[in-house]
Structure 1
Amino acid sequence: MHPSELLRTKVINADHVLSNHGLRRVLGPFDLTLLGIGAIIGAGIFVLTGVAAATQAGPAIILSYVIAGIACAFSALAYAELAASVGGCGSAYGYSYAGLGEIIAWIIGWDLILEYGVAVSAVAIGWSAYVNNALAAVGLALPEVLVKGPLEGGWLNLPATLIVLILAGLLSLGVRESVRVNAVMVFVKLVAITIFIAVAASHVEPAHWTPFMPFGWSGVMGGAALIFFAYVGFDAVSTAAEEAHNPQRDLPIGILASLVICTLIYIIVAGLLTAVVAYPTLNVGSPVADVMLRLGYPWAAGVIAAGAIAGLTTVMLVLYYGLTRVFLAMSRDGLLPPLFAQVNPRTHTPTRVIMVSGLLMATIAGLTPIGDVAELVNIGTLAAFFLVCIGVVSLRYTHPDLPRPFKTPWSPIVPLMGATSCFILMLNLPLITWLRFLIWLLLGLAIYFLYSRQHSLLATASE
C-alpha cells in the first residue's frame, strides 16, 4: 500500500456543492437558523449554567460563556467557508475528504458518528429524568425499574428508549416534517426563556455579583471548558447542505446566526441567574426552574420545565439528523456499506440509516448509564472543530482558485486560532476521556483498513 492512497482527496466542483443525490431541497436560512438554535439550546442553558456558576466561575460565568462563544466562533467561521465552498451532507467529514485526505476524513467521520450518537443517547437519558419529574408532579411517576437500566438496578429506561424511537419515526417521514416539529419546540423553549428573563429582571440584587470572580481567571476558564458542551450542535447545521435551497448562501447564515443568537441568550440568562440568587445555591438539577420556585412563581417554573423538555427534544432531533447525514455521506463514498446509501424515493430520507442508528441509540439510552461517557461528546466535537479549522488553511493552499461564496476573515489567523483554542480545551479533558476516545479511534482504523480502504469509490475508480 502506497502512503499516497491514504491521503487521496475528492474532487471539488460547483456541481458537487449543489448536488443532492435524492434528498429534497426544502430548507431556507430561517429553517437552518432554527435547526442551529434547536441543537444548541438545551442542557447547556437549563442545567450546566447553574453547575458552572456554583462550582467554577461564580457570577463571572458570563465571561465563561463569552470565551467559549469566541472559541466556537472561530470554528463557526471555518465551517461557514467550507459549507459554502465544499458542501455535501457529510459536514466536517466531507470537508476533510476534500482538503486533508481519505484517512483523515475517515477518522473525522468515525469521530462524528461517536459525537452525535453518544450525544443523542446522553440527552435522551436527561430527557427521561425531566419527563419523569413532570409525571411525578401530577402523581404519575414511573416506577424506578422503568427509568433505570440494568446496571443501575432497573430493567429499562423506558422514556429514553421511546423518545429515540419516536424521533426515528419523525426523521423517516421527511426533513420538512422534522423541521416543522423543531420550529414548534424551539418556539416553546424560547417562550420559556423569555418568561424567565421577564420575571428575573424584576428581582435583580446587585449584591449577588460581589465578588464577581470568586474563583479568579482559572475559574472562568474552567467554567468555559465545562460549558463548551452547551455549544455542541451548531456544526449539525452544515449536514443540511444537500437539503438547503441555496447552500452557498444559506448555510453560513444558519451557522453564524444561530451561534450569535444562542450566545446572547446564554449571557443574559447566566447574568440574571447569578443576579437574583447567590451563585453557590445554583448547583441543582434544573437551576432555571428552581430559581422561579424560590422567587415564588411556580407557574413560571412549570413553563420552564416544559421548555427544558422541548429544548432537550430539539437537541436530540438535530443531532440525530446530523448523524444520519454523515453516515449517508460515508456510505455513498464507499467507506461504509452501500446499502446505507439508499434514499427512500417517497420520503426522500435515508430510512435504513435512520432506523439502524435509532435502534442502536435507543438500546444505549435504555440500558446504559451514560455518566462520564458523555465527555466523549466534547472531545469528539473539539476534534471535529480542530480539523475543520485546519481544513480551511489547507484548502486555501491546495485550492487557491476554489470559489468561496463566504470567506473566513483574516485567514489563516482566525482558523489557526480556532484550531489552537480547540486543542487547548481538549488538553483540559480527563485522561480517561482520552483513553476511551483512543479506543474508539483504533476500532475505526481497524474497520478502515479491513473494509473501507478497498471499497472506497476513489480506490475502485483508480483500479
Structure 2
Amino acid sequence: MTEHLKRRIGFGLLTAYGVGVMVGAGIYVLVGAVAAQAGVWAPLSFLIAGLIAAPTALSYAEFTTRLPEAAGEALFVEKGLNSRLLGVVVGLAIVAAGTVSAGAVLRGGAGYLTSVTGWPDQWVIVIMGVFLVGVAIVGVLESLSMAAVFTAVEVLGLCLVVWAGAGAEPVADYSAPPEIVWSGVVGAAVLAFFAFIGFEDIVNMAEEVRSPERTLPRAILLSLVLTSLLYGLVSWAAVRAVPMDRLAVSEQPLVLVWSAAYGGSAGFLSLIAVAAALNGVLAQVVMAARVLFGLGRRHASLSVFYHASPRFGTPVLATVVIGVGVVAGALLLPVAQLAEVTSVILLSVFVLVNAALIVMKRRDPAAPFAIPMIVPVMGLLAALAALAVSLGGGA
C-alpha cells in the first residue's frame, strides 16, 4: 500500500465536479419551494443566495492555498482554532453529512429508475451503490470523468428547461408582476442558499489536483458563478412559463415548464434526475473517502484509513466503508429530514471555518490567495444567520 494519492485532476474536471455537486437533484424540486416565498422574484432570491454563499466560498479558497490537503475543513479548523479535537469532530461531521446525503440521494435516484424499469427498489439501490463505489475505487480521474458526464447531462437538461421557458407564452404573474416583497425574497434566498452547498467538497480533492494553490481557488469560484447563473435562469424560466399557484405547490416544477411550452409528460427529465442522483452519490463517496484518508494521516485512531492503493491511487478501504454506509442509509434510514440534518451540519462547519480563517489571518495575513478580513467576517455572519433560520424552521 502507499500513502500518496495521484495528482491527476486539472482545472476543467475539478470545476465540473463542483458544478455537479451543487446542481444536484434538488434543483428539480427547490424551484417551486423558493417561488412559493418569493413569487416571480425567485430568480433574484437565487442570485442573492449565491452572494450569501460567496464569502464562505472565498474563505475556503484562501484556506486551500494555505493548507492544500485532504480533509480540508478538519485541518482548517484544527490549525486555525488550535484544537485537534475540534478538527476531528469537524472531519467526522463532514463524513457523516456526505454519507447521509448520498444515501438520501441514492434512494431518490433509485425511485426514479424503478419507475422506468419496474425493478425492486432494494436491488436497484444495491446495484447502483456497488457500481458507483467500484468507479470511485478504480481511480479519481475515472470518477471525476464520469461525474463530468453526469454533470453535462444535468446541465443539458436544465438548459432545455430554460429554452422551453423562454419559448412559452408568459403567464399573467410574469407579464404583470406584483410589487416586490423583500421579506419574501430574502426568506426565499435563505432557503435557496442550501442549493449552493457543495462547493466545500472541492477542497477535499486537494491532494489529487495538479497545482492546487492555483487550481483550487479558481475552480471553487467559477463553479459557484456558473451554478448561480444556471439557478437564476432555470427559476426565471419557471416563473415565466408556469402560473404561480401551480408552481408553488409542485414537486416537479421543471416538468411543468416543459409541459407549458410543448405539452407531454417530459419523462426525459426523470432520466436526467437519475443522472443527477448518480452524480451526487459519486461525488459524496469520493469526497468522504478523502476526508477519512486525511484524518487517518493526522490521527492515530483513524490511521487504518491512511492508505491508498498503489494500483489505483485511491483510498480503497475508506471508499468501501463510505459506500457501505451510503447503501445501508439508503436501505434503512428515513429520508424525510436527512437533507435538513445535512444542512445544519454543514452550516455549523461553515461557521467554524470562517472563524478559523479570521483567527489565522490575524496571526499570519500572508497567503498565496489572500482575501480581505471582511470576507470571512461576512461569511461567518451569513452562515450563522442561515443556521439560525434552519434551526428555527426545524423547531
Q: Are 2:93 and 1:111 equivalent residues in the alignment? A: yes
Q: Distance in 2 between matches of 1:397 and 1:36?
A: 30
Q: Distance in 1 between matches of 2:206 and 2:54?
A: 20
CA spacing shift, 1:214–1:374, aligned 2, 3 Å: farther
Question: Residue 422 of structure 1: CA displacement?
Answer: 0.5
The aligned counterpart of 2:321 is 356
Q: Are 2:251 and 1:285 equivalent residues in the alignment? A: yes
Question: Pairwise mapping of residues 368-387 of structure 1 onto structure 2 (< 5 A)?
Answer: 368-387=333-352
Q: Distance in 2 between matches of 1:165 and 1:398?
A: 46
- 8, 20, 23: which one pairs with 1:41? 23
Question: Residue 210 of structure 1: CA displacement?
Answer: 6.2
Equivalent residues of 2:296, 2:302 under 8 A apart: yes
| Percent identity of paired positions between Structure 1 and Structure 2 | 28
The aligned counterpart of 1:128 is 110
Equivalent residues of 1:57, 1:214 under 8 A apart: no
Q: Distance in 2 between matches of 1:321 and 1:335?
A: 22
Letter in 2 for 1:61: A
The aligned counterpart of 1:224 is 189
Instruction: Tell which deviates more after alignment, 115-124 or 236-245.
Output: 115-124
The aligned counterpart of 2:173 is 208
Q: Distance in 2 between matches of 1:432 and 1:64?
A: 18
- 374, 385, 390: which one pairs with 1:413? 374
Structure 1 unaligned runs (5+)? 1-19, 148-156, 435-463
Q: What whole-Å deviation, never above 9, does each CA across 1:351-383 have from its counterpart, x for those lacking one?
A: 101111111220110122211132011111111
Question: Residue 74 of structure 1: CA displacement?
Answer: 0.6
Q: Distance in 1 between matches of 2:342 and 2:177?
A: 30
Q: Distance in 2 between matches of 1:339 and 1:175?
A: 20
Equivalent residues of 1:128, 1:159 under 8 A apart: yes
The aligned counterpart of 2:241 is 276
Higher normalized contact order (CA 8 Å, seq sep 6+, divided by chain length): 2
Question: Residue 229 of structure 1: CA displacement?
Answer: 2.4
Letter in 2 for 1:216: V
Equivalent residues of 1:44, 1:227 under 8 A apart: no
Q: Are 2:3 and 1:29 equivalent residues in the alignment? A: no
Question: Pairwise mapping of residues 172-211 of structure 1 onto structure 2 (< 5 A)?
Answer: 172-205=137-170, 207-209=172-174
The aligned counterpart of 1:334 is 299
SS of the residue 1:205 aligns to: coil
Letter in 1 for 2:112: Y
TM-score when normalising by structure 1: 0.80
The aligned counterpart of 1:153 is none
Q: Distance in 1 between matches of 2:286 and 2:176?
A: 43
Question: Residue 431 of structure 1: CA displacement?
Answer: 5.7
Question: Residue 213 of structure 1: CA displacement?
Answer: 6.1
Equivalent residues of 1:52, 1:227 under 8 A apart: yes
Question: Pairwise mapping of residues 46-57 of structure 1 onto structure 2 (< 5 A)?
Answer: 46-53=28-35, 55-57=36-38
Q: Distance in 1 between matches of 2:349 and 2:380?
A: 10
The aligned counterpart of 2:39 is 58
Equivalent residues of 1:58, 1:214 under 8 A apart: no
Equivalent residues of 2:101, 2:338 under 8 A apart: no
SS of the residue 1:344 aligns to: coil
- Structure 1 or 2, whichever has the larger Rg, is 1
Q: Distance in 2 between matches of 1:357 and 1:433?
A: 27
Equivalent residues of 1:72, 1:231 under 8 A apart: yes
Question: Pairwise mapping of residues 243-262 of structure 1 onto structure 2 (< 5 A)?
Answer: 243-262=208-227
TM-score when normalising by structure 2: 0.93
Letter in 1 for 2:243: A
The aligned counterpart of 2:205 is 240
The aligned counterpart of 1:141 is 118
- 293, 298, 303: which one pairs with 2:268? 303
CA spacing shift, 1:49–1:363, aligned 2, 3 Å: same
Equivalent residues of 2:46, 2:192 under 8 A apart: yes
**Number of matched pairs:** 392
Q: Distance in 2 between matches of 1:296 and 1:247?
A: 45
Structure 2 unaligned runs (5+)? none
Q: Distance in 2 between matches of 1:31 and 1:75?
A: 22
The aligned counterpart of 1:429 is 390
Equivalent residues of 1:376, 1:433 under 8 A apart: no
Letter in 2 for 1:66: L
The aligned counterpart of 1:391 is 356
Question: Residue 316 of structure 1: CA displacement?
Answer: 1.6
Equivalent residues of 1:28, 1:245 under 8 A apart: yes
SS of the residue 1:227 aligns to: helix
Equivalent residues of 1:373, 1:433 under 8 A apart: no
Letter in 2 for 1:289: V
Q: What whole-Å deviation, never above 9, does each CA across 1:54-88 have from its counterpart, x for those lacking one?
A: x3221121122122111110111000001012110
